[in-house]
Amino acid sequence: MRRLLWVLLLSLGLVLVILVARHNQGTVGSVSTADFASLAVKIVMLVIVGGVVLTLFRDRFSHALESALLWVVIGLLLVLAYTYRFDLRDASDRVLAELIPGHAAIRGHTVELARSHAGDFSISAQVNGARIPMILDTGASAVVLTNEAAKAAGLPLEMVKYSVNVETANGKALAASVTLDRIVIGGIAERSIPALITQPGQLKTSLLGMSFLNRLQGWEVRGDKLVMRAYP
């Protein structure tokens, strides 16, 4: 019982520290410090009132108080999680970006991706609404789609003409020139992107080339991170 009371006091102390730390800013996340303090006071009053009611049931008082304190602590944690939900989302994105190749960590107009174990930058992009895996290739002058990826993106393959000479890992090949309606990577979306479609079997993975990168405000490789910045 005494341990649970200490937990409650520490939780309330944490609320006080947050209020003091955020006093000059006037907010705790998206909630004003006044509203946050009011909510904390209401929770404390609820505990006090609940304690008075529970004294009427002395035979079960210990068990009831233990449950009440547990729910109060859970409630405080939920309040903190809601208050800092955007910071927690950013943190979770960064963790996922490290664990899942191609997952983008979004920070405003900036997207970060981690290098894969193979040494390249795998990117999960949306092309015309279809999810297409790509690899960063700064040596490619344009975005290059495999024939299968182009089909998934809804491009009219029966109407394209393979008349552009390209170099692939398998040697020289012919590709078709197209314009993609939209490419989305994380929080970055670009429209009307020039691209190439390779013939069936000529390319294993689609390439994110310079026709997309040149649309950005900037991009760079920082160690094992690819950082792309879109215009505001």
Residue 195 lies in a domain: yes
Full domain range(s) for residue 160: 101-229
User: Amino acid letter at 163?
Assistant: S
User: Amino acid letter at 152?
Assistant: A
8 A C-beta contact, residue 208 and residue 143 = yes
Residue 72, pLDDT score: 67
Residue 152, pLDDT score: 96
Residue 172, pLDDT score: 81
| Single residue among 40, 55, 83 that ends a domain in this structure | 83
Q: Which residues contact 72 (CB under 8 A, 6 or more apart)?
A: 8, 11, 43, 46, 47
pLDDT tens-digit readout, 84-99: 555 555 555 555 555 5
Residue 90 lies in a domain: no
CA dist., res. 109 & res. 98, Å (int): 19
The gap between the terminal CA atoms of the chain, to the nearest Å, is 54
Residue 57 lies in a domain: yes
The string of DSSP letters for 164-220 reads EEEEETTEEEEEEEEEEEEEEETTEEEEEEEEEEEPTTS-SSEEE-HHHHTTSSEEE
Residue 95 lies in a domain: no
Residue 35, pLDDT score: 66
Structure tokens at 98: 């490290």
Are both 56 and 14 inside the same structural domain?
A: yes
Residue 117, pLDDT score: 78
Among 30-39, 168-177, 213-222, which is the least confidently predicted range? 30-39
> Quick one: average pLDDT of 111-117?
85
Q: Which of 101-110, 114-123, 139-148 has the highest mean pLDDT?
A: 139-148
Q: pTM of the prediction?
A: 0.59
pLDDT tens-digit readout, 19-65: 555 555 556 565 565 666 666 666 666 665 655 555 555 556 566 66
Are both 136 and 211 inside the same structural domain?
A: yes
Residue 96 lies in a domain: no
Nearest to 175, CA basis, from 149, 206, 147: 147
